[in-house]
Structure 1
Amino acid sequence: MRAEEIVYPTPAGLYCAPGDFHIDPLRPVPRALVTHGHSDHARPGHGAVLATRQTLDIMAIRYGEGFTATRQVAEGPLRIGGVTVSFHPAGHVLGSAQILIAPDDGPRILVSGDYCRTPNPVCAPWEPVACDVFITEATFGLPIFRHPDPMAEVARLLSSMAEFPERPHLLGAYALGKAQRLIALVRAAGYEAPIAIHGALKRLCDYHIGQGVDLGPLVPVGDAQLVLAPPSAFATPWVQQFRDPVLSGASGWMTVRARARQRGVELPLVISDHADWPQLTATIRDLAPEEVWITHGAEDGLLRWCAIEGIPARPLRLIGYGGEPE
């Protein structure tokens, strides 16, 4: 059986025919395998969901306990129809996984979801998985995206806080993964004072703490010098309670300074939970698959690199991913 007969795009998303399931489907389906809890990959309303325990917990926090009719924790290799599937850490956010599809007859296909090889204190590290076909994201699939050391970016934040102690620093951070990672990085840099968090971050921060992630003292928004909030809060009256704040944002997109200016970000921090260009190309080299399928991102840049390297590759143009802030 050829790879194209095992896994292929449908209007609902990526479909595995011999297993009769979708991976990160865009609309409700009878059976879904979910790589992680971001809403462009994890959506409610499926008949059954198979995911890591932490991803299932996160979906319940975000969508309610009734987000699916039935749920199953992915533990060890599982037989589904004519394929065996296994989940492997992706290093993206808490509970994130790559999914390996091993058919009885045909190539092993690894669906990466979103992944990152930079060490992340709030989730398990990325794990290399042998495969014949590698389906990779390409969110930052252009050579300009070369993310610096996250601790160096955190040092810039703490330096600004020391230089402007009278100004509250408002750090825009997505509620799942990015906010908790930033807090953990700031703590690792030696910052011990209470950190204020917007109410929209509390439930997921509490969940991370319950999973053993040490975030230190977190308080409601008040007099703390460092305040984390969803980036969308900066465009609401909520921000008006702060006098002369330093607006900061942490994302791989902060590499593009025009984006930072458009968002009114005074202190852009380049901290990403996705693979950058060197990691994308290194991963393809390390896994050495027979073929690469590239999706949701700058497919053309990575396709060109694969062509130069003599690696068979094709675009897998799935619409609807990347809908949440990085």
Structure 2
Amino acid sequence: MRADQILHPTDAGLYCPPGDFHIDPIRPVARALITHAHGDHARAGHGAVMATRQTLEIMAIRYGEDFAGQRQVADGPTRIGDTTVSFHPAGHILGSAQIAVQPRSGPKIVVSGDYCRRANPVCAPFQPVPCDVFVTEATFGLPVFRHPDPAGEMVRLLASMVEFPDRPHLIGAYVLGKAQRLIVLAREAGIAGPIAIHGALQRLCDYHAEQGIDLGELIPATAADVPAQLVIAPPSAFASPWVQRFRDPVIGFASGWMAVRARARQRGVELPLVISDHVDWPQVTATIRELAPEQVWITHGAEDGLLRWCELQGIPARPLRLVGYEDEPE
């Protein structure tokens, strides 16, 4: 059986005929395997969903307990139709996983979803999984993207807080994964006092704490006189009246896209923090070299740049050109 007979793109997303399931489908399907709970990969309305326990629990928080007809926790290799599937840590956010698909006969395919090779204190590290075909994201799949050490970005944040002690620092961060990672990085950098959070972050921060991730003292950012110099909110909050309660704030944003200074200027970001939960160019190319798959399939981003790199390395590659995936919607 050829790889494209095991898994191929459709209007609904990646489909596996021998297992009769989709991976991260963008519309409701009968059976979905979900890599992680970001809204551009995990949607409600499927007949059945298989994912890690944490991903299923986060989906229930975000979409309600009835987000799918049935749920199944991914726990070890599982037979589905004429395939065996298994879930392996992706290092992206809490509960994130790569999905390995092994047919009865034919190549083994690993769908990485979104993944990161840099240490992330709020989730399990990426686990390299040997495979014949590796499906990789290319969110930052251009040589210009070389993300700095997050600890160094936190040094910049602390320096700004020292330089402007009377100005609240409002940092935009996606509500799931990035916000909690930013809080832990701030704690590791020495911020011991209360950190204020927008109400949209509360339930997911509570869930991370329930999973044993120490976020320290968090207080609601509900008043103009919040007793915390550091405030974390979803990016959408900065376009709402909520931000007007803060006097002369330093506006920041934590994202890999802050490496593009034009994006920071367009958003009015005074303190861009280049902190990404995706692989950058050195990480994605190093991962492909490490796995040494027979084929690379590329999706979610700058497909053409990574396609050209694979060609120069003599690695057969193809773009999947899936639609409907982007940064976590806010």
TM more than 0.5:
yes
Q: Find the counterpart in structure 2 of residue 303 from structure 1.
A: 307
Q: Structure 1: 5+ residue runs without aligned partners?
A: none
Q: Find the counterpart in structure 1 of residue 172 from structure 2.
A: 172
Alignment of 1:324 onto 2:328: yes
Q: Find the counterpart in structure 1 of residue 40 from structure 2.
A: 40
User: Could you tell me how far 1:223 is from its partner in structure 2?
Assistant: 2.5
Q: Find the counterpart in structure 2 of residue 150 from structure 1.
A: 150
* SS class of match (1:161): helix
CA contact (8 A) 2:32 2:49 kept: yes
Q: Residues 66-101 of structure 1: CA distance to partner in whole angstroms, max 9, x if unpaired?
A: 000110000000000000000000000000000000
CA contact (8 A) 2:39 2:329 kept: no
CA contact (8 A) 2:40 2:329 kept: no
1:123 maps to a residue whose letter is: C
Q: Residues of 2 paired with 1:232 and 1:143: CA distance?
A: 29
Q: Residues of 2 paired with 1:223 and 1:167: CA distance?
A: 12
User: Could you tell me how far 1:324 is from its partner in structure 2?
Assistant: 2.1
Residue correspondence of structure 1 range 1-326 to structure 2 within 5 A: 1-221=1-221, 222-324=226-328
Q: Residues of 2 paired with 1:112 and 1:78: CA distance?
A: 18
Q: Residues of 2 paired with 1:322 and 1:130: CA distance?
A: 27
Q: Residues of 2 paired with 1:35 and 1:233: CA distance?
A: 27
1:268 maps to a residue whose letter is: P
Q: Residues of 2 paired with 1:108 and 1:44: CA distance?
A: 28
Q: Residues 35-92 of structure 1: CA distance to partner in whole angstroms, max 9, x if unpaired?
A: 0000100000000000000000000000000000110000000000000000000000
2:50 maps to a residue whose letter is: L
Q: Residues of 2 paired with 1:325 and 1:20: CA distance?
A: 28
User: Could you tell me how far 1:173 is from its partner in structure 2?
Assistant: 0.5
How does the TM-score come out when normalised to structure 2? 0.98
Q: Residues of 1 paired with 2:89 and 2:172: CA distance?
A: 26
Q: Residues of 2 paired with 1:112 and 1:170: CA distance?
A: 32
2:154 maps to a residue whose letter is: V
Count of residues paired in the alignment: 326
Q: Residues of 1 paired with 2:85 and 2:142: CA distance?
A: 31
Q: Residues of 2 paired with 1:27 and 1:325: CA distance?
A: 16
2:74 maps to a residue whose letter is: A
Q: Residues of 2 paired with 1:24 and 1:178: CA distance?
A: 20
Q: Residues of 1 paired with 2:189 and 2:329: CA distance?
A: 25
Q: Residues of 1 paired with 2:155 and 2:211: CA distance?
A: 27
2:297 maps to a residue whose letter is: W
CA contact (8 A) 2:78 2:86 kept: yes
1:294 maps to a residue whose letter is: I
2:103 maps to a residue whose letter is: P
Q: How large is the RMSD of aligned CA atoms in angstroms?
A: 0.8
CA contact (8 A) 2:194 2:227 kept: no
Q: Residues of 2 paired with 1:325 and 1:233: CA distance?
A: 13
User: Could you tell me how far 1:323 is from its partner in structure 2?
Assistant: 4.7
CA contact (8 A) 2:116 2:277 kept: yes
Q: Residues of 2 paired with 1:251 and 1:10: CA distance?
A: 30
* SS class of match (2:219): strand
2:303 maps to a residue whose letter is: E
* SS class of match (1:286): helix
User: Could you tell me how far 1:190 is from its partner in structure 2?
Assistant: 1.3
Identity, % of aligned positions: 76
Q: Residues of 1 paired with 2:327 and 2:66: CA distance?
A: 23
User: Could you tell me how far 1:296 is from its partner in structure 2?
Assistant: 1.0
Runs of 4+ in 1 over 3 A off after TM superposition: none
Q: Residues 99-151 of structure 1: CA distance to partner in whole angstroms, max 9, x if unpaired?
A: 00001110000000000000000000000000000000000000000000000
User: Could you tell me how far 1:273 is from its partner in structure 2?
Assistant: 0.3
